[in-house]
Amino acid sequence: MIRHRKAGTPLLRLAVIFYIYSLIVNYKMCYNNQLPPLPFFFKFLQNSELWSHPAGLFFLLVWIQLRTIKHSNVKTD
C-alpha cells in the first residue's frame, strides 16, 4: 500500500505568506508610502511577474505540491 504523508504544507504556507507580503508591498509602493528596508528576496518577489499574477501563484503552489507529494510517497508492506 502507498501511504500519503502530509507533505509540502510548510512550503505552501511560506509561499502564501510571501505572496501576501508582496501584495502589501506593491500596494504601499503604489501610494508612495514609506516602508522599512526589504531584504533582497522580498524585492525579487515584488518584481517577479509570477507573484503579481494570481494564476502564476496558483501554478507555483500546484507545482510545489506535486513535487513534494511525488518525492514523499512511503511504501509500506
Q: What is the pLDDT of residue 38?
A: 53
What's the pLDDT tens digit per position in 1-51?
Answer: 555 555 557 777 777 777 777 777 666 666 555 555 555 555 555 555 555
**Which residue matches cell numbers 509570477?**
50
pTM exceeds cut of 0.85: no
What are the backbone angles phi and psi of residue 73, rounded to the nearest 5°? -70, 130
- Where exactly are the structural domains of the chain? 2-75
What's the pLDDT tens digit per position in 46-77?
Answer: 555 555 566 666 777 777 777 776 655 555 54
Grid coordinates of 40? 533582497
